[in-house]
Structure 1
Amino acid sequence: MKILDWYILKRYLGTFTMMLLMFIPIGITINLAEKIDKILENEVPFIEVAAYYLDFTVYFANLLFPLFLFLSVIWFTSKLANNTEIIAFLSSGVSYWRFLRPYLIGASIVCVGALVLSMYLAPQASKGFNEFKYQYLKKGAEVQETNDVYRQINDSEYIYASNFQPKTYTARNFTLEHFEGNKLKFKLSASKLVFNTVDSTYTLTNLDKRIIGEREDVIIHERVLDTVLPFEFDQLTPVKYIAETLTYNELNDFIDQEKRRGSANMNRYLVVAYKRWSLPVSAFILTIIAVAVSSVKRRGGMGVNLALGITLAFIFIFFDKVFGTIAEQSTFSPLIGVWFPNFTFGILAIYLLFNAKR
């Protein structure tokens, strides 16, 4: 690499690191000021609070790094433009594409780091962050599906419960249906199901078993029955944030399992999986946009570039949140919802790059 590459690359990575170190303590301070009452009220041990804010730092750095990267690139590139350094680079015979190379190298480094963070480190931080939040800050908040739970537990059996209580290991209006091919062979119906944690058995109350015959059905009634059923109780309705806490390979396995079970939260899980790739890729797109809008010396100085950059950054975040939420809460394609901001801003990046003043 030549002097120009090292000069820009060191500023790229140094400014990005400085931006993270500046804003993360501010984020922690704001969050602590908002949560301090509940932390004191619940007498949370200091070591758990410290662990929570360590997880908080990793969790939000992973979510907001595109914003920090975008602003840091605009910041130092605007300084280069105001000091006429970019004009000097281009006047020396360096093409605009050659000038852009160290930015793309920096974006590649950040992208690889973001991939490692989102695939392996952020999931562990997300687990600690969410567990602390629901244990101390949102006591009593419902984090699992509890009404009208429907699952395919294997290739031939389906279950349903109108009311599912994970804390008490109970379910109401429980039904299990067993199929062979497309034919229903028998059906279990119970007014109440209780999971016995000691021996992993189930107690069924007011059980009716209907065996489907060729000419007539056989109905067997039991007041109370202890039996073994082909599913794990704690896997029926995973907590809503479960996908965020799994590494990439674990998440893929979990999604395959939930597809077979007919989970109602599939879109939520797919959005998390697609964002593991889309956020790191956004490093390239936002870097190109930042260079294109800030490499020109403007009459208003750095302030104009920063204002334009902040506006574009918040539009990107707005698109990311809105389309991600739409994909989670509706039948809208999670793939389109997650990648739409990158696609839209990718087109904008190409337009700005080819129309930037050389």
Structure 2
Amino acid sequence: MKLTIIDKYILKRYLATFAVMLLLFAPIGIIIDISEKINKMISNDVPVLKIAIYYYHFTIYFMNNLFPIFLFISVIWFTSKLANDTEIIAILSSGISFTRFMRPYIIGASIVCVLVMLMGFFVVPVSNEGYNNFRYTYLRSNGKELMRGDNTDVYRQISDNEFIYVNSFNNESQMAFNFSLEKFNKEKLEYKITASRIKWNPKDKTYSLYDYTKRIVGSEGDVIEKSPEKKMKFSFDLEDLAPVVYIAETLSLGELNAFIDKERKRGSSNINVYLVVLYKKYSVPVSAFILTIIAVSVSSMKRRGGMGVNLAIGIAVAFSFVFFDKIFGVLAEKSSFSPLLAVWLPNIVFGILAIYLLRNAKR
């Protein structure tokens, strides 16, 4: 497929405006975040290098979450300018159909879709981990709210008769606090292990338990074993100690698929949360096509109010898309609603809207 001069012109404007929009809003997001957290950073004596690394991860996290808005506004912006300068009228008057006029937009959306998808598979999980680690380590109250709603308590069944609990988890130090493990024989407690802290030792693949206590329940009396520090091997993985959303957001595509398979075998009650994260890795990039078509359909006509009207419509539609995306994602996580349908429903609804607007624009 050979690109014409018009194709290259529109494609260049598409990608350049989107890039400028990202570079314009990223510093604004950083400034707002700093203004909210500067007092806590100072009071916790956070090292400058840690702050710099955090804002690198924050930028990727911020752009990934709001890219549909930035893309939509950027397409609305430069297409409205083309319409106001009567460039679109000149292009269509030369015999080029509206469908043919859309080709460079679809090529641009394809490039953005592939880039966002690859970022979501491999780069964004690393940044999510760094972003969450910093917030939990240095901004504890906000970290708790981010990772698990009201608290960071993690309860998990690791086998048919074993259950673990931790009050909080720090992935950076690979340590969890207020740990307990209970093993049952049918419905009767066989023993319980508790520790104030549990730390993963990657060299020998063991766990160090601090303030270790083991209570073995017996018919003639309990046996209690205590130690200031004890190394042990367990059947659960380090990721089993992390909060639910925290795990899924920090895994690459292959790791997330393997993790979901393992949790399915365990009969995890949180499987919907993991599936929402997985399906969004595909649905969010695909939204680039839908939002591009809507943006072009809305802004390709020259309006009496100029670009302001188009931008107002664009911002309303973009925020509506993000709103529906978040609402249905939470619905799937908290109920029996199908995660696949919940994640793709905003694309389906706005896809129908895109087809309707495109037909009207062609007329």
Tell me whether the two structures share a fold, i.e. TM-score over 0.5: yes
Tell me, in whole angstroms, the C-alpha distance in 2 between the residues paired with 1:9 and 1:235: 43
Match of 1:151 in 2: 157
Structure of greater Rg: 1
Matches within 5 A, 1:153-192: 153=159, 157-160=160-163, 167-168=176-177, 170-171=179-180, 174-177=182-185, 189-192=190-193
Q: Deviations over 1:307-350 (max 9, x none)?
A: 11111111101101111111122222211111111111011011
1:220/1:103 Cα in 2 relative to 1: closer, same or farther (>3 Å)?
Answer: farther
Q: Deviations over 1:141-179 (max 9, x none)?
A: 5457876834143xxx3323577676346316x2335xx
Which residues of structure 2 form unaligned runs of 5+?
170-175
1:15/1:169 Cα in 2 relative to 1: closer, same or farther (>3 Å)?
Answer: same
2:154/2:241 contact within 8 Å kept: no
Q: Deviations over 1:222-281 (max 9, x none)?
A: 503699775136343322311111110011111111222233322221111111111100
Match of 2:214 in 1: 205
1:53/1:200 Cα in 2 relative to 1: closer, same or farther (>3 Å)?
Answer: closer
What TM-score, normalized to structure 1? 0.85
Q: Deviations over 1:284-326 (max 9, x none)?
A: 0000000000001111111111111111111101101111111
Q: Deviations over 1:27-61 (max 9, x none)?
A: 10111111111011111110000000000001111
What TM-score, normalized to structure 2? 0.84
Of 266, 269, 282, which residue of structure 2 is paired with 1:264? Answer: 269
Matches within 5 A, 1:51-70: 51-70=53-72
Tell me, in whole angstroms, the C-alpha distance in 2 between the residues paired with 1:28 and 1:67: 17
More moved, 223-232 vs 294-303: 223-232
Which residues of structure 1 form unaligned runs of 5+?
178-183, 210-218
Tell me, in whole angstroms, the C-alpha distance in 1 between the residues paired with 2:27 and 2:152: 38
Of 336, 355, 358, which residue of structure 1 is paired with 2:341? Answer: 336
1:238/1:76 Cα in 2 relative to 1: closer, same or farther (>3 Å)?
Answer: same
Tell me, in whole angstroms, the C-alpha distance in 1 between the residues paired with 2:220 and 2:320: 62
Match of 2:238 in 1: 234
Q: Deviations over 1:173-227 (max 9, x none)?
A: x2335xxxxxx6x965225445876865987734237xxxxxxxxx686503699
Identity of aligned residues (%): 51
Tell me the SS of whatever aligns to 1:55.
helix
Match of 1:326 in 2: 331
Matched, 1:294 2:299: yes
Tell me, in whole angstroms, the C-alpha distance in 2 between the residues paired with 1:334 and 1:118: 18
More moved, 259-268 vs 320-329: 259-268
| Paired positions, count | 338
C-alpha RMSD over aligned residues? 2.7
